[in-house]
Homo-oligomer: A and B are copies of this chain.
């Protein structure tokens, strides 16, 4: 494919950590050309003034957000804005024929009442929301291929659902016993001057937050319920790790059949993810390190069973900014455009 065949894409909200990760992935993507960066507060700024280390590769000025301009220039656009803003932009963009990949929570929910309850915002775009596809290719690959609007999953739901889905889909566990103890690096908190994200606060410390009330809970439950075939509630607890990147989800659940052993479940997971090039099932009681995933769009999964307690423990590791955010969005774009799913997505980690 020649240079001329690259499709023009735009990014709205490129100044945060997910945004700059997306810019870097798209700069190396063989089929894409970034033709537009848009922002609200950052409009008018040189992108290389925000990120001086990219000065040798990009020469963008961030532009004001104008859906007509975007539609005139872009075949697809990534929305990386705070929650509650994409729902105003996506309907006109789709109407003008632009493919939209939203990285906020706005289009993750089938049921806007759930969204409204957890995000405190009324919505009037129910018709659009219902057309949106949840952008987790390992579960919704075919739907994404024909979607014009994708609601990209949150970082925690990505790690959690990758670990839980085969168990629920195959009916191996008692759904209501599922507990997700999740841990994330600080980049998940964004590029904003919050005291709790300062190195002096977060380095050398570890703690939980949002216990029993984090907004990623209903997102996880929506998919779990669909897989289980009935409404499922999960326990989800996020923690902040003193590092920049990476999520580990440690998932516990009680097996329906206590006779199942690790090897059985490894086989089931391997089958479940057979067509998913980014999922790596680890053998023989090897457990994933987040570092193995960092810099890649991969999800590493390790599995253990405990015959003393009849539980299965599944551990999944991702890079929260790639598989958990920007990389997964590119994976969705690849599917929407009919390209190879792995195009432009790194598979070799940054280790050490």
Which residues of chain A have a CB within 8 Å of any CB of chain B? 17, 20, 24, 27-28, 51-57, 176, 179, 181, 183, 185-187, 189, 191-195, 197-209, 211-212, 233-235, 237, 239, 241-246, 248, 250, 252, 280, 282-283, 285-295, 298, 300, 302, 304-306, 308-309, 311, 313, 315, 317, 321, 347-352
Contact = CB atoms under 8 A, between A and B. Distances in A.
Nearest to A346: B28
Contacts of A349: 53
Nearest to A311: B235
Contacts of A280: 55-56
A207 B235 CA distance: 20
B56 A212 contact: no
Interface centre among A53, A183, A199, A292 (most CB of B within 10 A): A199
Contacts of A298: 56
Nearest to A289: B207
A29 to B, nearest CB: 12
Given A57-B347, A183-B183, A347-B56, A199 B308 contact: no
A173 to B, nearest CB: 14
A306 B291 CA distance: 32
Given A28-B348, A179-B252, A206-B241, A292 B52 contact: yes
Interface centre among A193, A203, A204, A285 (most CB of B within 10 A): A204
Nearest to A305: B212
Contact of A313 (B54, B201, B212, B352): B212
Given A212-B308, A295-B350, A289 B252 contact: no
A54 B27 CA distance: 25
A86 to B, nearest CB: 23
A244 B352 contact: yes
Give the 5 A-B residue pairs with the shortest CB-CB distance, closest first: A193-B193, A53-B292, A205-B291, A212-B306, A181-B181
B243 A248 contact: no
Contact of A248 (B193, B207, B283): B207
Contacts of A311: 235
Contacts of A176: 309
Given A187-B352, A206-B290, A207-B288, 9 more contacts: A193-B194, A199-B199, A200-B244, A203-B203, A205-B294, A212-B305, A233-B308, A235-B306, A239-B250
Given A53-B289, A237-B250, A237-B313, A198 B193 contact: yes
A282 B51 CA distance: 12
Contacts of A241: 206, 241-242
A246 B203 contact: no
A311 B27 CA distance: 39
A194 B202 CA distance: 14
Contacts of A304: 211-212
A20 B252 contact: no
A207 B183 CA distance: 10
B195 A198 contact: no
Contacts of A300: 53
A248 B54 CA distance: 19
